[in-house]
Structure 1
């Protein structure tokens, strides 16, 4: 059965796209058939995978507007188990049009239920950094939400908004929506900003924190310039290893949903 994970938080700069690309690559390396769908009009997933306008043949907008079938806009990547659907919304008019189409909240859910997508083990959806429109459509279709988070008071405020939106979606659209976890991103241990952030998270969101954390890493940023997931750019880098750990954690969590718990050792590390 296909597991659909939305990567979302209503704030820019949290690392949503980087997380979506590297988690999808991690699943692919684990030989899980994976489809990455870019829902962000910025279209950064394509750049992170080495695509440009010349080597793309359709996008999610064309599926939404019924001008193409979804299987015709699937792009193969250099990873045999990873496919990709880009988002090529490069004008204001197109963005406004897809926002109007997104008022049909169940449209994307129906698209993902098509037979052509049942072959995938995981579908990763990279959401835009706002709560309305495409994000709501993605949450209506998703099984769970993964929330990347940087240090800072504004980040925690955005996290609270995200939880409010999830509760609204659960109560009105998708009662089965779960929280996959909160991912500490661009993590710098022993810094005051992170200490304060973790202190705040521990009061209200402790049970949702992943054991895996993604460190601040130059290699991750460099990989994006070369159009590669960090896992392919430098598998020995701290960032790549962290994303592989996250992949393994999610795979284990979904294999053993009733016994998976956040480890006491990890909580001790967070308090340091």
Structure 2
């Protein structure tokens, strides 16, 4: 099972949008995927069409006693329509309708309770909380963890449980500099507490191709991050707020702009999601 933490230590760069885009691409490919919403704002939960009154415990509550609960018993299906070939036209709360494939996208919903773990910590007992929760989920090939935009205990838990970390940055001065500092912090944390992290990468998001400033910053990111900078850049999309507000996957949204974004998220998923045998034999920085 590949566990990818999507992180940023600067808010407003589209971290949750990238999480949702990757979830949409994974669903379209039929990859059994779980989204774990660790951000206290729970925007990924909302964007995936999951209500807070579904009768299961949220991640923040489960983290309080990870050894005594089963995360697998508290995941819920996303509210998205099924975009797989042959999938159902509407989201199914079970294993799919007659003639449909088993559902491929589930959610461990977020809530403000996760903020109880935001205090900085390097205590092994605290860092293992998410790892212990994920031990009970085995049906997924991919887990996407949407982290809060801060280097706190919640983000550290996510990194400690992950096989890969994806940092989201926009091509602006403060974001580029902040991401470089985050990479240094991640490398230090990885050596001490998260040896299971096999790869770290950066994706440029909210890129305006016509902007001279953005093109300059993209060149700067290439020089600073080297081969950690993924070859896929996600452009700024005017109707992204509309797509998220409708709690809809980008792969199902009509229009050429959405189709181009969906294709880019397909490329991004291909860049970060690798079969287990490849992850064992291939290491990056």
Q: Same fold (TM over 0.5)?
A: yes
* Counterpart in the other structure of 2:76: 75
RMSD: 2.5
Report matched runs for 1:1-272 at 5 Å: 2-55=1-54, 57-66=56-65, 68-77=69-78, 78=80, 79=82, 80-89=103-112, 94=113, 97-99=116-118, 104-114=126-136, 117-234=137-254, 236=256, 237=258, 238-251=260-273
Q: Deviations over 1:216-244 (max 9, x none)?
A: 11232211110112222237422222112
Q: 1:181 to 1:96 in 2, by over 3 A?
A: closer
Q: 1:123 to 1:153 in 2, by over 3 A?
A: same
Q: Which runs of 5+ in 1 are unaligned?
A: 262-272
Q: 1:212 to 1:253 in 2, by over 3 A?
A: farther
TM-score with structure 2 length normalisation? 0.81
Q: Deviations over 1:160-215 (max 9, x none)?
A: 12112211221210123233421111111131221221221122212112222211
Does the 8 A contact of 1:215 with 1:242 survive in 2?
Answer: no
Does the 8 A contact of 2:37 with 2:146 survive in 1?
Answer: yes
Distance in 2 between residues matched to 1:235 and 1:149, nearest whole Å: 26
Q: 1:52 to 1:164 in 2, by over 3 A?
A: same
Q: Which has the higher helix share?
A: 1
Distance in 1 between residues matched to 2:159 and 2:255, nearest whole Å: 31
Does the 8 A contact of 1:219 with 1:239 survive in 2?
Answer: no
Moved more, 60-69 or 219-228: 60-69
Distance in 1 between residues matched to 2:190 and 2:200, nearest whole Å: 14
Q: Matched residue of 1:54: which SS?
A: coil
